A and B are shown apart, each in its own frame.
Chain A
Amino acid sequence: MKIETLKQIIKKNSLNEQFAIITNLSNGSSEIFKIGSSLSKNFINFKNEIENYYNLKKSGIINNTEIFIENYSKPVEVIIVGAVHITQCLIEFLKNLNFDVTVIDPREYFVTKQKFQNIKIISKWPEEVFKKIRTDSNTALITLTHDPKIDEPALKHALKKKFFYIGALGSKKTHKNRCKRLKEDGFNNKEIGSIHGPIGLDIGGKSAPEIALSIVAQLVSERNKTIKI
């Protein structure tokens, strides 16, 4: 592989784009592929197969060829509401797992730079933020303030946009009351049932890192159900 190709990969990653690296295993040549980009003579004969694998986000050696394709997909966006201690622990896990993280907390005193380095952090109310950022069924939401006036506008937005994962911190009692309010606001049982509450897999955790671990485990398990890599 040429060092220029390597540098292109790093650059593409910083742009958060989907792309693939294709390698001809019989002559060692490799290049970056995106839909619409042209292929060199090493790969042009396999155009259809390459596009097929690319669209399926499938990686591997294309059947009956010596062409290896490795797909790099756009990281999944996780929005965390609440810049709390659990958030700090969550960020560490999420970075290693190739999630893109945005933290929202309107309470400025919770948002200090020391606690959250190199993370997109927005000190505004969730409803203002969601007017500006793009979200869809590939987005996840984790609410951690357990303050209804901060968490619930975010939950409502996530339900409407059908986020693939929605989790809300709070006890069984807190969650029951939350569900009641969402029902009064017109959400049906199926929608409300899609919220993971109390959030996280039951690993018996009590400390912030343990709770973060249980949330991340649940999130990853949901991601693996929806995305076939």
Chain B
Amino acid sequence: MTQSFNYTILEEAISWIESGQQVALATVVQTWGSSPFQIGSKMIINEKGKFLGSVSGGCVETSVITECLELIKNKNSFKKIDFKVSNENAWDVGLACGGEMTVFIEQIN
């Protein structure tokens, strides 16, 4: 189901890179329990924090963007990030739905 939207994101990634931007790609690679988005959901982020697509229903995007900006800044090529259930602390990043997920972020070059 996410397939056709993924193409839009990947096409956009190519156009961002060709216009000289640095781009990181985030992909949901594993989910447990009632996580919001399915495996393969994607998001792209440039060095300025501009993004397209999503990996959850807005629960972990901020954290994924921060991690991607770090990745680009430090010129690292990839990282695997695990997200677990959030606690009651509203500022804590996590999944309110009670699921868990792993997001793989990588630089496109």
- A interface with B by C-beta (< 8 Å): 1-3, 6-7, 9-10, 13, 23, 25, 28, 30, 59-61, 68, 70, 72-73, 75, 95-98, 229
Contact = CB atoms under 8 A, between A and B. Distances in A.
Nearest to A70: B40
Nearest to A72: B3
Given A28-B77, A60-B30, A229-B1, A23 B104 contact: yes
A60 B32 CA distance: 11
Closest 5 A/B residue pairs (Cβ): A28-B78, A98-B4, A98-B3, A68-B29, A59-B39
Given A25-B104, A75-B4, A3 B109 contact: yes
Q: Chain B binding site: helix, strand, loop or mixed by DSSP?
A: mixed
A96 B10 CA distance: 15
Given A25-B80, A97-B4, A2 B39 contact: no
B79 to A, nearest CB: 9
Interface stretch (B11-19, B51-59, B86-94): B11-19
A3 B17 contact: yes
Contacts of B29: 23, 25, 60-61, 68
B17 A59 contact: no
Contacts of A60: 29-30, 39
B69 to A, nearest CB: 18
A1 B5 contact: no
A146 to B, nearest CB: 30
Contacts of A97: 1, 4
B4 A3 contact: no
A6 B106 contact: no
Interface in B65-91: 77-78, 80
Interface magnitude class on chain B: 20 to 34
Nearest to B2: A98
A72 B77 CA distance: 24
Contacts of A7: 14
B11 A70 contact: no
Contacts of B17: 3
A126 B14 CA distance: 40
A59 B10 CA distance: 18
B108 interface: yes
B4 A59 contact: no
7 contacts: A2-B109, A6-B14, A13-B7, A68-B104, A70-B27, A75-B4, A97-B4
Given A1-B108, A68-B29, A10 B10 contact: yes
Nearest to B42: A70
Contacts of B77: 28
A97 B5 CA distance: 8
Nearest to A229: B1
Contact of A1 (B38, B102, B106): B106
A10 B11 contact: yes
A105 to B, nearest CB: 24
A75 B108 contact: no
Contacts of B106: 1, 23, 28, 30
